[in-house]
Copies of this chain bind each other. A is one copy, B any other.
């Protein structure tokens, strides 16, 4: 899984039939200090995360393994909201 921060949302009227019911979030990968990296994805959200919140995404074929995304043209899905990150104090960052 990759750890990301929700930084926006995408509105699309013309899209694949199978994407019709999904909320599309614009997310940014974060590092161990939760600071944004220059890597962005648009992902499906079924957990209801809001802007600024941190979550975990799965990509590739795994993104289609949730009940909601089965068989859909989806290659990125939020699967968890991150409540807390406990870091080893000795990590050099």
- The total of chain A residues at the interface (CB under 8 A) is 61
Which residues of chain A from 22 to 65 have a CB within 8 Å of any chain B CB?
24, 26, 28, 31-32, 36-38, 40-43, 47, 51-52, 56, 58-65
Additional 8 contacts, C-beta under 8 A, given A10-B80, A14-B80: A6-B88, A9-B85, A10-B82, A11-B85, A15-B79, A28-B91, A36-B91, A60-B61
Residues of chain A whose beta carbon lies under 8 Å from any beta carbon of chain B: 1-3, 6-16, 18-19, 24, 26, 28, 31-32, 36-38, 40-43, 47, 51-52, 56, 58-66, 71-77, 79-88, 90-92
Copies in the complex: 5
Given contacts A12-B83, A26-B87, A77-B73, contact A42 B56 (CB under 8 A): yes
